[in-house]
Chains A and B, each alone.
Chain A
Amino acid sequence: MGGKVTCTLGEVKNRADFIVYWGGNPAECHPRHFTKYTLMQKSRWLPRGRKDRTMVLVDIRETKSAKAADIFLQVRPGCDFELLSILRAMVRDEPVDPDAVAETGIAYDVLEDLVRRMKSCRFGCMFFGMGLSMTRGKHMNSAALLTLAAELNAFTKFVAMPMRGHGNVTGADVIMRWQTGYPFGITFNRGYPRYNPGEFSTVDVLVRGDCDAAFIIGADPGATMPQPAIDHLARIPTIVLDPHVTHTSRLARVHITTAPAGIAAPGTAYRMDEIPLPLKPALKSPYPTDEEIVRRIREAVATRPFWMPEDSPQMTTEQL
């Protein structure tokens, strides 16, 4: 188990005749997803657009996205991993325990129909949201879904993709990977990158009170992190770069207002399928960009203060 079988969103637009959303509510959280990529688009291979596609929604409650679905499966909360494992077994024609099926809240014949559709479509795609990846089982749930998608390739073409959001989180992930080898949860405290989610992830470092300063760019942990983490941010010198006043900026020692990326600041953002998009600002902002501020801080730190001896080993002029 491991890896990810995926594609860019254009492949879904052009080919996917079978689409599953699992643990997400795209109608409200990614409102352009249906129209731009997954359901409404027509293509060479799907000339009738929506009519040529089947959409399944798997979630614990009937959200607005259920209206767009051809099939809605209401899974019992906390049973996603079990349901995915049952589907993996059924895809391989292995026997499954009826009690285990009943436990998921979905009838066996409904699952049988789902498996038949999955195996007989021409191009299937599963999108999964935080309802799967951030609930009980967490990364094991994602792994089970990704494995199901990989195994379905023995029968037909099948891919899977996480429904990422929150601005340019994918871009941060991509760049951390090429510079350090890891996507997040990295420490440099030994002079080289080390990775351990749960130990070095921001939330864990803050909850344990391990850091004595925080530098936050374009994120609002004060709104989403657990209270002990927020308390620690208020305790230590916290510096926030953000175009807006946020929960975090209110508790920070320093808030530097920046030009909003994509509106008044240029750059590159990475889409959920890791395709880089250039940002072309439409407006001018009186505020500096994040990049400019970070560069100026770096230069200021690298400059030798007057009280430091000239050959001091801590000072670097080139790189910091």
Chain B
Amino acid sequence: MLRITGGKIYDPASGINGEIRTLYIEDGRFVASGEGGRTIDAAGMIVFPGGVDVHTHVAGGAINFARAMTPEDHRRTQAFIRSQTRRSGLGGMAPTTFATGYLYAGMGFTTVNEAAVPVLSARHTHEELSDIPIVDKSSLVLMANNELLLDQLDAGEYERARSILAWYIRAAGSWGIKAVNPGGVAAWKWGGNAGQLTETVDGFRHVTPGTIVASLARMCHDLNLPHPLHLHCNNLGAPGNVSTTLETLRHLEGHRAHIAHSQYHAYGGDDWDTMRSATSDLADWFNTHDNLTTDAGAVLFGDTVTITADGPWQHLLYRLTGRKWGNLDVENETGCGIVPYTYRPGHLVNAVQWAAGLELLLLIEDPWKVFLSTDHPNGGCFWRYPEILELLMCADYRQECLRQLPDRIRSRILLPEIDREYSLYDVATAMSAGPAQALGLPRKGSLAVGCDADVVIYEEDDNIRRMFSHPRYVIKSGEIVIEDGDIRETPDGREFLVQPHCDPDTETFIRPLFEDCYTMSFDNYPVEPHRIPRAEIHHRPASP
């Protein structure tokens, strides 16, 4: 039994806004009352549900490729020295697995969603995820460029394609599906791309990015997946791409979807010289449609390394910057590109990106629809989230930052005119309750009775960045993991898997197609769920 008394509770999932209440925790969950055990006196403190990151890249082939490519950053970054409770590791742009757990928990986050997993290397991703301590995890499998699936869509075989999708989700041990640059990564296998939603994808007869988006969104609904289609739209990062993004949203035909890192998809202008923020167009759409959620993919100035399954975009970024370039095409399934990048305040394009991320967070009125993210590590590292919170909560600080940017920027962005400030309730929604609901994770993002006892307690502080960077207590599944700025315990987190309904004859159908294009034996391909430590498997019957 653990009691937390006297704290101001912010629990948007239950509509509790700053009331002083007592929380009771037993066996890792919240309970209605109890006696004995330890009491944390949280008088004068702020109590939030543990943070949930809806979109991050912390494990698997891509981030591990990025680690290999950035030894110069490891050398200058924060080192975690081995202690009795902690293993050693490195922070920085692409933190090592143990450090990832410590850094997330140290910031009050208790659940993370790894947003891009190829099935072929899913076994690797799960091995890495199990090496990330403290936090609970889920992962999304990359599907919008899978040629076996696209072939079925090309032939108009929607139901067959849906069975294949269900089979792949089970094979990967995933929580849902992610679509990256639908059709574009498949075209990249020949050096091409897909920019127009209605144009046929290279190498196919009928299928277009638009049909891929529409079909996948429908399949997520039919398969009754807890998380809707997680969508990285076409034309990421390109000036004027807001038209593509809006067209993509129309192609969803009202189905639910989560639009990933929308900052990168909200630009106007015709080229790099005229690029401007078009976030108001996108925010209007979100404000008037209830089938959608998004995460900001906000940008912070400084060094980082960009990682995405969007291979063609990374080739362009390499040619623009002349920096290191990593590329890894995955047979039949997807691609991946890695380029180190520095966001500079004096650079007009970067300044527009910085403003656009904040604009989306501020212009989309409902914090249940837009969540905190930097698309770690693409827009900035996850351990810099408190900097974004400071920008969201203090309009004055925002204005001060704007003054550091070149004057020419003012005509291209909306941020100077926005005076909205996030309340603590908004922050708790955008950082925990909202993403937990969008992910469909059971018992997360809430302090209600029956939910997982993931709690973060902050000492009230005028310095917002300091307050959110250094919680006084972090409790994960009822265990105090951070206390007074120190890591006390490093329990292993769980992993959430979904097993949608899958027609039994799917395997017989896929086997010959698989053997034709893969180089791994079919029987070795699916990840055995028993090899995922602490897996929590959710079976889903199909939607009626």
Which residues of A come within 8 Å of B, CB atoms?
1-11, 13-15, 36-37, 43-44, 122-123, 150, 153-154, 156-157, 159, 174-175, 177-183, 188, 190-195, 268, 270, 274-278, 280, 316, 318-319
Q: How far is the CB of A275 from chain B (nearest CB, A)?
A: 6
A7:B328 contact, CB within 8 angstroms: yes
Give the chain A neighbours of B327 by CB distance below 8 A.
3-7, 159
* Chain B positions within 8 Å of A14 at CB level: 331-332, 517
**Bound-complex Cα distance A9 to B332 (A):** 11
Sampled A-B contacts (19; CB under 8 Å): A2-B323, A9-B519, A10-B120, A150-B325, A153-B315, A154-B319, A177-B64, A177-B67, A178-B131, A180-B89, A180-B96, A182-B74, A191-B81, A193-B89, A194-B75, A195-B71, A195-B75, A268-B123, A274-B61
Nearest to B69 among chain A residues (CB) is A3
- Known contacts: A2-B69, A10-B331, A181-B94. The answer to whether A43 contacts B516 by CB under 8 A is yes
Contacts of B88 in A (CB 8 A): 180, 188, 191-193
Top 6 A-B residue pairs of the complex, sorted by shortest distance between their CB atoms: A10-B331, A2-B324, A7-B329, A3-B324, A191-B81, A192-B79
Q: B interface, how many residues as a size bin?
A: 35 or more
B518 at interface (Cβ–Cβ under 8 A)?
yes
CB distance from A127 to the nearest CB of B (A): 15
Q: Is B425 an interface residue (CB 8 A)?
A: no
A37 cross-chain contacts in B, Cβ below 8 A: 519
Choose from A10, A150, A192 the contact partner of B332 (Cβ within 8 Å): A10
| Closest residue of A by beta carbon distance from B92 | A181
Assess the B98–A318 pair: CB atoms within 8 A. Answer: no
Residues of B within 8 A of A188 (CB): 82, 88
Is the CB–CB distance between B189 and A193 below 8 Å?
no
B67 touches A8 (CB 8 A): no
- The A-contacting residues of B in range 59-99, CB under 8 angstroms, are 59, 61, 64-65, 67-69, 71, 74-75, 79-82, 84-90, 92, 94, 96-98
A67–B341 Cα distance when bound, in Å, is: 45
A179 touches B131 (CB 8 A): yes
CB pair A191–B82 under 8 Å, yes or no, is yes
B325 A5 Cβ-Cβ under 8 A: yes
Q: Distance in Å from the Cβ of A289 to the closest Cβ of chain B?
A: 15
When A150-B318, A277-B520 are in contact, do A178 and B97 touch as well, CB less than 8 Å? yes
Contacts of B288 in A (CB 8 A): none
Q: Please, how many angstroms separate the alpha-carbon atoms of A143 and B97 in the complex? A: 28
B127 adjacent to chain A (CB < 8 Å): yes
Name the CB-closest residue of A to B95. A181
Query: What 0/1 readout, one digit per residue, does chain B (515-528) give for beta carbons within 8 Å of chain A?
Result: 01111100010001
A181 and B315 within 8 A (CB): no
Q: How far is the CA of A298 from the CA of B190 in the complex (A)?
A: 50
What distance in Å separates the Cβ of A304 from its nearest Cβ neighbour in chain B? 13
> Which of chain A's residues have a CB closer than 8 A to the CB of B330?
7-8, 10-11
B residues less than 8 Å from A177 (CB atoms): 64, 67-68
* Extra inter-chain contacts (4) besides given A11-B331, A178-B131, A182-B71, CB under 8 Å: A6-B329, A150-B325, A178-B128, A276-B121
Residues in chain B near residue A178, CB distance under 8 A: 59, 64, 67, 96-97, 128, 131
In the bound complex, do residue B190 and residue A122 qualify as a contact, i.e. CB atoms below 8 Å apart? yes
Contact of A10 among B80, B97, B517 (CB under 8 A): B517
In the complex, the chain B residue whose C-beta lies closest to that of A37 is B519
Total A-B contacts with CB atoms under 8 angstroms apart: 164
Known contacts: A44-B517, A179-B89. The answer to whether A174 contacts B124 by CB under 8 A is yes
Which of these, A8, A174, A270, A274, contacts B519 with CB under 8 Å? A8
Within 8 A of A (CB), among B479-529: 516-520, 524, 528
Alpha-carbon gap, A184 to B114, bound state (A) = 26
Tell me whether B191 is interfacial, beta carbon within 8 Å: yes
Q: Decide if B338 is an interface residue (CB 8 Å cutoff).
A: yes
Bound complex: CA of A194 vs CA of B327, how far in Å?
A: 26
State whether the Cβ of B326 lies closer than 8 Å to any Cβ in chain A: yes
Chain A contacts of B325 at CB under 8 A? 2-3, 5, 150
Within 8 A of A (CB), among B89-133: 89-90, 92, 94, 96-98, 120-121, 123-124, 127-128, 131
Instruction: Determine how close the nearest CB of chain A comes to the CB of B446; give it in whole angstroms.
Output: 31
Docked-complex contact A8 and B68, CB < 8 angstroms: no
Could you say which residues of chain B place their CB within 8 Å of the CB of A318? 84-85
Given the known A-B contacts A179-B89, A182-B74, are A157 and B81 also in contact in the complex, defined by CB atoms under 8 Å? no
Q: A154: shortest Cβ distance to chain B, in Å? A: 7
Query: What is the minimal beta-carbon distance from A278 to any residue of chain B, in angstroms?
Result: 5
B84 proximity list for chain A (CB < 8 A)? 316, 318-319
Residue of A nearest to B86 (CB): A319
Q: Which residue of B lies closest to A195 (CB)?
A: B71
Cα distance, A122 to B189, chains bound together (Å):
10
Whole-angstrom distance from the CB of B63 to the nearest CB of chain A?
8
Q: How far is the CB of A207 from chain B (nearest CB, A)?
A: 23
- CA–CA, A318 to B86, complex, Å? 9
Q: Report the bound CA distance from A36 to B74 in whole Å.
A: 38
Which of A4, A37, A276, A277 has its CB near the most chain B CB atoms (within 10 A)? A276
Instruction: Tell me whether B121 and A275 are in contact (CB under 8 A).
Output: yes
CB closest chain-B residue, reference A180: B96
Q: CB-CB < 8 A to A191: which residues of B? A: 81-82, 88
A11-B329 contact, Cβ under 8 Å, with A3-B69, A275-B120: yes
Chain B positions within 8 Å of A11 at CB level: 189, 329-331
Residue of B nearest to A150 (CB): B325
Q: Which of A8, A10, A150, A180 has the most CB of B within 10 A?
A: A8
Contact digits for B208-250, partner A, Cβ 8 Å, 1 yes 0 no: 0000000000000000000000000000000000000000000
Q: How far, in whole Å, are A189 and B331 apart by their CA atoms in the complex?
A: 41
A191 to B326, alpha carbons, bound, how many Å? 30
Closest A residue to B322 by CB, please name it: A1
Contact A193 B331 (CB under 8 A): no
> Which residue in B68, B82, B516 is a CB contact (below 8 Å) of A192?
B82
B92: which A residues are within 8 A, CB to CB? 181
**Of B67, B120, B326, B338, which one neighbours A181 at CB under 8 angstroms?**
B67
Q: How far is the CB of A282 from chain B (nearest CB, A)?
A: 14
Q: Which residues of B contact A193 (CB under 8 A)?
A: 74, 79, 88-90, 96
Docked-complex contact A268 and B127, CB < 8 angstroms: yes
Q: Please state if A192 and B80 are interface contacts (CB–CB under 8 Å).
A: yes
Task: Please tell me if the beta carbons of A10 and B324 are within 8 angstroms of each other in the complex.
Answer: no
Which residues on the A side are within 8 Å of B69 (C-beta)? 2-4
CB atoms of B520 and A275 under 8 A apart: yes
From known contacts A122-B190, A150-B318, A191-B81, infer whether A276 and B331 are also in contact, taking CB-CB under 8 Å. no
Q: How far is the CB of B135 from chain A (nearest CB, A)?
A: 15
B515–chain A nearest beta-carbon distance, Å: 11
Given that A191-B88, A274-B124 are known contacts, is A181 also in contact with B519, CB under 8 Å in the complex? no
Please report which residues of chain B, range 174-209, place their CB below 8 angstroms from some CB of chain A when the two chains form the complex.
Answer: 189-191
What are the residues of chain A within 8 A of B90 when measuring CB–CB? 180-181, 192-193
Complex-state Cα separation, A9 to B85, whole angstroms: 41
Whether B82 contacts A36 by the Cβ 8 Å rule is no
Q: In the assembled complex, which residues on chain B have CB atoms less than 8 Å from the CB atom of A182?
A: 67, 71, 74
Q: Which of A37, A180, A270, A316 neighbours the largest number of chain B CB atoms within 10 Å of its CB?
A: A180
